[in-house]
Structure 1
Amino acid sequence: MSLSRIVMRLARNPGTEFAGGDDHRGYALTAPLTEDGHIDEGEYAKLKASCSVRRFAPDEDAVDGRLNKRGQRWFFDYDAADEADDEPLHRLGEHRFALGEYVTVTDEDGRPLTYKVMEVTPLQ
């Protein structure tokens, strides 16, 4: 099993300043996937140190972190010593990372925002 690079971009989020979405905001995630596109939890346990995330937006510097899991809760972690910066991922264990699928990430302000999977590329 190898890792995959997953790029998610901000989808339409009615009722927010991102009602029309924003292709310049999103996440680039490195994680192991099963053949059907779900996070492979067994491989994740082995490759956890290689499971990274980069948050990008036009009005801020890119921020690097890790994909992390505590119990059944998945989240993006940008500082292991500070839980306040964690960005939870809604039901990540159930999401399929395939083109056109949607993933909800709760941002640093506590807002759940929807992102669309735009790229899934196996890494060699």
Structure 2
Amino acid sequence: MTWKVIRLELASSWEFPRGSAGRSYLIRLPLTEEGVIDTATLASQPARATVRRYWANEADMIGNLVPTPQGYAIRYEGKGSTKANGGSDGNGHSNAQLFQFGADAIKLGEQIFLTEPDGFESRFRIASLH
């Protein structure tokens, strides 16, 4: 198992035909040799699973990745969006449904769908993995 930093960039869409590197996430996750999320390590060291959301013309959002019954979510620090799918925990954190990674390996160039804090679903590509 190795902790990896995964960069997700907005993939091609109607609004962004070439995608957008200015709309991205950096996600730190424990991955097995096969590239699958190591759920045991994630459960034993949850504070290491960090996320930073970079969005053009918006302040960065920082948080931690947390497992949910539907997949994974980001628990944002401080004033996160209370309109997020996961709502607020009442302690200044908000939970936003982020993505669902199944048993498939996380691979460079693959695309995944993310649900943004406002509930809008966007497609992202795995731009780097190291």
Provide the TM-score with structure 1 as the length reference: 0.83
What is the RMSD computed on CA atoms of the aligned residues?
2.1
Q: Deviations over 1:28-47 (max 9, x none)?
A: 00010111212111111112
* Corresponding residue number in structure 1 for 2:48: 50
State how far apart, in whole Å, the 2-side matches of 1:56 and 1:95 are. Answer: 26
Q: Deviations over 1:83-113 (max 9, x none)?
A: 4343323432344321101121101111110
Q: Percent identity?
A: 29
Please say if 1:3 is aligned against 2:3: yes
* Corresponding residue number in structure 1 for 2:106: 97
* Alignment: residue pair count: 119
State how far apart, in whole Å, the 1-side matches of 2:95 and 2:102 are. Answer: 17
Q: Which runs of 5+ in 2 are unaligned?
A: 88-93
* Corresponding residue number in structure 1 for 2:91: none
Secondary structure at the aligned position of 2:102 is classed as helix
Cα displacement (A) at 1:79 = 4.2
Q: Deviations over 1:64-98 (max 9, x none)?
A: 01101123431112148964343323432344321
Q: Which runs of 5+ in 1 are unaligned?
A: none
Relative to structure 2, which stretch is displaced further, 81-90 or 98-107?
A: 81-90
Provide the TM-score with structure 2 as the length reference: 0.80
* Corresponding residue number in structure 2 for 1:120: 129
State how far apart, in whole Å, the 1-side matches of 2:17 and 2:40 are. Answer: 37
Match of 1:40 among 38, 41, 61: 38
Are the aligned partners of 2:10 and 2:123 in contact in 1 as well (CA < 8 Å)?
yes
Q: What is the one-letter code of the residue matched to 1:5?
A: V
User: Higher helix proportion, which one?
Assistant: 1
State how far apart, in whole Å, the 2-side matches of 1:95 and 1:62 are. Answer: 29
* Corresponding residue number in structure 2 for 1:21: 19
Secondary structure at the aligned position of 1:110 is classed as coil
Cα displacement (A) at 1:53 = 0.2
* Corresponding residue number in structure 2 for 1:62: 60
Secondary structure at the aligned position of 1:12 is classed as coil
